[in-house]
Structure 1
């Protein structure tokens, strides 16, 4: 193995990881059941139309790519939901979940409460204080 390969394979600590992103920006892929948008086409459209700022919901619809196989549908309550979809907030580091990653909801019938399994495979009630949405994952035809 070459030295460069060994260097790439060495484990880095949290500080080194943060230093690798000096602007603090890195991407986390969204679940495949959520719609995606063609970013290049949006950028080209905005450049051609000389648009600065955000596009309206109607303008964005033309760039939307619908998922194949499954979709996420937002619901109002945890009782209706099959999954929980966390979003970003100020305390992401210590919560044990990944934003925009789907977490299946489990019901503890004895305690009459709903739980998710976090990234450490521990049951959690984090949805009570962390930003997120309750969703139903449905199969499409």
Structure 2
């Protein structure tokens, strides 16, 4: 448990992510999770057209 708490202390803002390149789209994770749950599927089961609705590109507005 102490080891895990020490790990948390290394990230004071609570963010545990790797930065993505600026040219990569962002994924609306919560919307994607809600959609998949309502359909009873996994994100990997979505067609590319379905997945596209959850991607935000640099030219898109959030």
- What TM-score do the two structures reach when normalised by structure 1? 0.29
Structure 2 runs not aligned, ≥5 long: 9-15
The structure with more helix, counted as a fraction of residues: 2
The structure with more strand, counted as a fraction of residues: 1
Number of the residue aligned with 1:52: 42
Q: How much is the aligned-residue C-alpha RMSD, in angstroms?
A: 2.3
SS in 1 for 2:32: helix
Cα deviation, 1:105-136, whole Å, max 9, x if unaligned, reads xxxxxxxxxxxxxxxxxxxxxxxxxxxxxxxx
Higher RCO (Cα < 8 Å, 6 or more apart): 2
- What TM-score do the two structures reach when normalised by structure 2? 0.58
After TM superposition, what 4+ stretches of structure 1 lie above 6 angstroms from structure 2?
none
**Which structure has the larger Rg over C-alpha atoms?**
1
Structure 1 runs not aligned, ≥5 long: 1-15, 69-141
